[in-house]
Amino acid sequence: MDFFELAKTRESCRSFSDKMVEPELLTKCVETARLAPSACNGQPWHFFAVSNEDKVKQIRTCVHTAGINAFAEKVPSFIVVVEEKTNISSRLGARINDNDYTQLDIGIACAHICFAASELGLSTCILGWFTEKGLKECLDIPKSKRIRLVIAVGYSDAKPIREKKRQPLAEILTQIK
């Protein structure tokens, strides 16, 4: 698929089939996150690619809370994204420009993962709703770290692609020719 097609067809999946995800495919997705751009090349991230059945079960309970993300009960694998310390240049730039590059960097890396997954025939849903404490216990992540996102990864059993609900281009684009 070319990139424009990928951008059109990638969508958040909330209906996964029972098919397991090959761990090598998760590795491939994270490889594209590794190549993502980041402020001052700070690469402030660590990824846990989880397909182990017991761990997946535990992660489900951390992302499905308060009745939110119930679909996660069928998610076969997750990528958990932990923020790592960026480099001194990025930290300095962030302070001078008052801009949180670290979270921007992580967002870009996660986009790479989602597009890579689409290209591999997988579906994803980025999850910002989770109990961080439970995830840290499950994955032995130190309390001092921050988990920024979780990405559900699996094979979709949903029907055709939904229509995208987006603001019109004219509203979000100011083109200065």
Contacts 24+ apart (CB under 8 A), 163-170: 164/8, 164/11
What is the layout of strands, in order, in the sheet containing 123-127?
45-50, 77-83, 146-154, 123-127
Residue 128 touching ligand FMN (CB under 6 A):
yes
Residue 113 touching ligand FMN (CB under 6 A):
no
Residue span binding ligand FMN (CB under 6 A) among the ranges 7-15, 89-97, 139-147, 169-177: 7-15
Residue 9 touching ligand FMN (CB under 6 A):
no
CA torsion sign for 102, 108, 112, 114 is positive
Task: Write the binding mask 58 to 97 for ligand FMN: x where contact by CB under 6 A, - elsewhere.
Answer: -----------x----------------------------
Residue 124 C-beta: closest distance to ligand FMN, Å: 9
Q: Distance between CA 73 and CA 127 in Å, rounded? A: 13
Interacting residue with ligand FMN among 26, 59, 127, 135 (CB under 6 A) = 127
Residue 12 touching ligand FMN (CB under 6 A):
yes
**Residue 89: closest CA among 108, 102, 70, 80:** 102
